[in-house]
Chain A
Amino acid sequence: MSTINGLLNTGRSALLSHQLAISVTGHNIANANTEGYTRQRVVLEASQPIAYTSTGSPGMVGTGVQAESVERMQDQFLLGQITGAASELGRWQAQQGAMEQVEIVFNESSGFGLDSALSDYWNAWQDLSVNPSGNPERQVLVSKAEILASTFNEAANQLQTIQQDTDLLITSTVDEVNRIADQISDLNAKIQTVQRSGQNANDYLDQRDQLLHELASRIDITSTVDDDGVVTVTLGDGHQLVGSTPFGRLATTTHAATGMQDIVWDSAPATVINADIGSGKLHGLLEVRDTLIPGDLGRLDTLAGTLMTEVNTLHSAGVGLNDTVGRVFFTGTGAADMALNPELAADVSRIAAAADATGVPGDNSNAIAMANLAFQLTMDGNTTTFAGYYQATVSSVGLQVQESKAYTDHSQTLADYLESYRQSISGVSLDEEMVHLVEFQHAYDAAAKLISIVDEMMTTIIEML
């Protein structure tokens, strides 16, 4: 049966519940700009009603309100999509960053200008063909050949430097992955404790979601949450990074042949899992280090190698001014170690402009043949010239960068869209919070009014005595 004391109790429950609601609203406002914060809401419900009379007459009387729980406003399915998008974004951003550096190497205006060095080199042979016995022409040829060789060297070195930088980034990213995994494990323990006590660990859950997001941007993960609220994070190879039976942490091991770092589990250091990483920053960096840069380096090496072979074959068949030894023009095996034969630099008269000894010094046929190499289809299975091959290389690097930029833009757009969708559900709108604040304040005022009216009622009764 409803009593005056019961009324007081109803007022009290209303006061407390709305105080809690205002407190949660305040928490929301306070975290309006906190990254990864999920809006919280008090779920209010009417308290257990009691019978109007003890005689079983129909009708129940309410006993006030109670805060059933504090909930996070979130779409459970969104998290998986957001982490997936974060992985793709991380992958393409990493690739774009490195490939833009590669692009600089192949940019004629800001880079090493391999193309113009090549043109200058062939033109120097032309000059020599016009004056085959001329010392200045020979000196110019030597210097142009040295420039060409050192341009190849620098371009190759620069690519190797980018490759090594990428390798360092891989190691530090592995460290980050481990650090984030540790933090997620810690939060798992806290959340489990809170959830077992029947509470919602809202803020811990937010922090963990945020960490999962950061982890996903580095490496592709699959995450599942069990009934206790514990999250299990599985990597591409099926092993648990975080969970009830974690396989371990990631580590790196030096590849015997390349000297680069391979990614392994610290519990199974012999099994390289590079190929099992399907997305995220690590995948992007691995692609750059193991596929894209070696591809570009390989093209440079092929170009330098074929150039040296062709030039050397012609040169060693010709004769110098006082020299019939048949010397090679370039030494080395690839772009990185290509160099002008020092014997020629030491004595430029050894440069073979003439085809045979009878024509010395006025014969220019070897110089002409050399200059004509520029137009011969020597590359790509005799389908293109040296310069044409380099041109295709520049275009393909341009395409690689363009592709990674396009994918970055695309995954950025997707990530932005998902984030704004998440915000529309989970984000704090100050306007909405203000409306709630006003609502709750009025309800709080009304509850206080109720109590003061009950007080007056009690006074009335007491004065009756």
Chain B
Amino acid sequence: MMADTVLGNLFREQEVLLGAQERVASQKQINRPSDDPVGSGLVLQYRRMQAVIEQYGNNVQMGQNRVELIETTLEAVSDQVTLARKLAEEQVGNSSDAELRLTAAEQVDQIRTQVLQLANTRLDDRFLFSGRATDTAPFALDTLADTVSYVGDNSAQADFRLTIGQGVEVSIPANGQEIFAGAEDIFDALKVLKDELNLANPDSAVIATQAQRLERAVQHLQTVRTKEGTLTGRLKLQQQQLEKLGNTFEEMRASVEDADMAQVIVELQMQQTVYQTTIQTAAKLIQPTLIDFLK
């Protein structure tokens, strides 16, 4: 009878000891759903939030890459167009030096080629400025007519949609028509300028008009770049917030799931002491019987 009670106590203490040992080994407070049904549900939720936050972080990173490339590209376009504008301004009123004018025309042509190339920039084989038609080069040069025209997506849905948070979307400009011909058609202005400069008797007024058109185009590019700048700031802010949010969820998960090592080790040691005491007292209890004292 005594033996049964002693054995029962030993088993119980052993089980508690094993539980404490498991928590120390796994460093987790919850090792199976039944350890804490509600807590293990919360852990799932926090892990899921962490996973989704990490994904949004990746999305933001992709967005930043894209915006950065757009920014660099548009900066180069601005530089080129400004250069063309300066060339045009220099040639206003120049009717004597034909050689200089032809060189200028040559330069403007090169600038146009350059801008065309920039407008057809690709990121991972996808065109940046052709809207959703990412597999089509947005601007095409018609060699016969010597004109550049937009063949990309010109619809209202052309801008690139990016999810950067739960229910939070930003749209990154991708409509080449809007960017490169929104205020003034850059390619058209450059073509008119080049053709005029190539004439034997160019009309200074036409050249001056083109210079003004290019000026407006640069201003429009500036507006687009300012928007991109705002977007960059927005993405950076979102990334910081996601990081903070990720840390918060990690802390929340840890507070539910992870074991406080100091605490579990103290618990383990206490339980060890209890177990050893149980064994020792059991040994003392079981040994003596009346037989030892007879005779």
Contact = CB atoms under 8 A, between A and B. Distances in A.
Contacts of B31: 109
Contacts of B200: none
Contact of A362 (B36, B54, B132, B294): B132
A394 B58 contact: no
Given A107-B32, A394-B41, A395-B38, A362 B153 contact: yes
A53 B171 CA distance: 128
A103 interface: yes
Nearest to B289: A430
A203 to B, nearest CB: 20
A438 B145 CA distance: 130
A110 B157 CA distance: 46
Contacts of B290: 430-431, 434-435
Interface in A370-424: 371-372, 374-375, 387-388, 390-392, 394-402, 405, 416, 419-420, 423-424
A69 to B, nearest CB: 25
Given A361-B135, A362-B130, A402 B34 contact: yes
Interface stretch (B1-9, B71-79, B224-232): B1-9
A133 B134 contact: yes
A130 B162 contact: yes
Interface residues of A, number: 64
A450 B58 CA distance: 105
Interface in B46-63: 47-48, 51-52, 54-56, 58-59, 62-63
A131 B4 CA distance: 69
Given A368-B169, A397-B33, A134 B289 contact: no
A134 B124 contact: yes
A375 B33 contact: no
Contacts of A362: 126, 130-135, 153, 160, 174
Contact of A401 (B34, B48, B132, B169): B34
Q: How large is the interface on B (under 10, 10 to 19, 20 to 34, 35 or more residues)?
A: 35 or more
B1 to A, nearest CB: 4
A291 interface: no
Contacts of A416: 4, 8
B1 A396 contact: no
B291 A108 contact: no
A116 interface: yes
A398 B37 contact: yes
Interface stretch (A119-127, A214-222, A329-337): A119-127
A103 B34 contact: yes
Nearest to A396: B37
Given A394-B33, A398-B34, A438 B45 contact: no
Contacts of A307: none
Contacts of B287: none
Interface of A: 100, 103-104, 106-110, 115-116, 118-120, 122-123, 126-127, 129-134, 354, 358-365, 368, 371-372, 374-375, 387-388, 390-392, 394-402, 405, 416, 419-420, 423-424, 427, 429-431, 434-435, 438
14 contacts: A103-B33, A108-B47, A109-B28, A123-B51, A126-B56, A130-B58, A134-B124, A358-B155, A364-B161, A388-B45, A398-B40, A401-B34, A416-B8, A438-B294
Given A110-B32, A419-B4, 16 more contacts: A103-B34, A119-B51, A119-B52, A360-B132, A362-B160, A372-B167, A388-B45, A391-B45, A394-B33, A394-B40, A395-B40, A400-B34, A401-B32, A401-B34, A420-B1, A438-B294
Kindly list the 5 A-B residue pairs having the minimum CB-CB distance in the complex, ordered from nearest: A398-B33, A398-B37, A362-B132, A401-B34, A362-B134
